[in-house]
Amino acid sequence: MAKAEKKKQPKKTASAAGRTRKLTKKQQRVKSKKEARIHKPVPGSFRLTWSVLKLLRQHWKPLGGIVLIYLILNIVFASGVSNISSNFDTIKSDLKASGGQGLWHAAGGFASLVGSSGASSSATGSALQSVLFVLESLVIIWALRHLLSGHNFTIKLAWYRAMAPLIPFLLIIFWIIIQLLPVTIGGVVLAAVSSSVFTNTAWATVVSIIFFALLALWSIYMVSASVFALYIVTLPDMEPRQALRSARELVRFRRLIVIRRVFFMPIFIFVVMGLIMVPLILFVSRIVPAVFYVLSMLAILFFHSYLYNLYRGMLE
């Protein structure tokens, strides 16, 4: 009897193993959707903003010290402050102009200036600013990870230790630049059509706008996942390909919600900087370049703090 039972046991195991079927693509997709619903909802934009402001108020000393070093390095090596005075003179004249067109030009000029963060006009200065931005981003991400984990550190240690994943971080940035090529090409085509002889042709303008919109949506769709790979790749022993794969899984089936959260952040930065800078432009123009430069440095800190909190919120 005992021998018979031993002989029957492998048959049961084999038959049980034979009954397992591989899921179809549709079944795998349904299963993935159910797994995505298990996670907590993505934090709202206002909740994220409040948590970022709370974080900055609680840890203003180490984060402020990191930004201060970045500010000094930018002034010494990139000479950013002296390059934005002329832009503010143009914005001031547009604000004082009568009619809505002047206000529209002023808003566009200010948005362009905020987007560039007062980038240097020279090629060397812009290159140095790009290098400093990458280094500052690594330090801020390293500091945020340790602060939210309850670990204390010195500013010097942050600048030393944060540089370890520099090469993987640069590879992710390079991949994001590639993903932004469609919207770049669409912008070039739209500008070419707008300035060509086809400007008077309505259908050519409409087609170019639709073409630009589709390419922009394509870039936004890709970058909405890859941007979180910047934070994943800074983890120990993390490869760029693995970070990109993890980022895609992180936003899967909730990409539209993530895009809305991400788009809120630059709008918030623009509004806050506008409320601070417009009165200064009109009444205290002498201190405008310095104040704008400091706010630009703080905007970079807010940018990473917001996205990092969003990234942590999606992990829960």
**CA 168 – CA 213 distance, rounded (Å):** 31
Measured at the alpha carbon of residue 270, what is the angle toward residues 267 and 274, in degrees to the nearest 5?
140
pLDDT of 189: 84
Could you tell me which residues come within 8 angstroms of residue 6 by beta carbon, excluding any fewer than 6 positions away? Answer: none
Decide if 299 contacts 273 (C-beta within 8 A): yes
Catalogue the E-assigned strands of the chain.
none
Scored b (16 or more CB within 10 A) or e, 176-189 reads beebbebbeebeee
Structure tokens at 41: 């909802």
Provide, for the chain, the percentages of residues in helix, strand and coil under a 3-state DSSP scheme, each rounded to the nearest 5.
Answer: 85, 0, 15
**Sequential pLDDT tens for the chain (316 residues):** 444 444 444 444 444 444 556 666 555 555 555 555 556 788 899 999 999 999 999 999 999 999 999 988 888 876 655 556 666 666 667 666 655 555 666 666 666 666 665 555 567 777 888 899 999 999 999 999 999 988 888 898 999 999 999 999 999 999 999 999 999 998 888 888 777 655 557 777 788 889 899 999 999 999 999 999 999 999 998 999 999 999 999 998 899 999 999 999 999 998 898 888 888 877 887 887 888 888 888 999 999 999 999 999 998 7
Structure tokens at 66: 């990191």
Torsion of Cα atoms, 142 then 147 then 151 then 153, to 10°: 60
Place of tokens 């409409």: 206
Decide if 113 contacts 132 (C-beta within 8 A): no
Run of H or E residues at 103? helix 100-116
Quote the radius of gyration of the chain (alpha carbons, Å): 25
- Which amino acid belongs to residue 28? Q
**CA 74 – CA 288 distance, rounded (Å):** 17
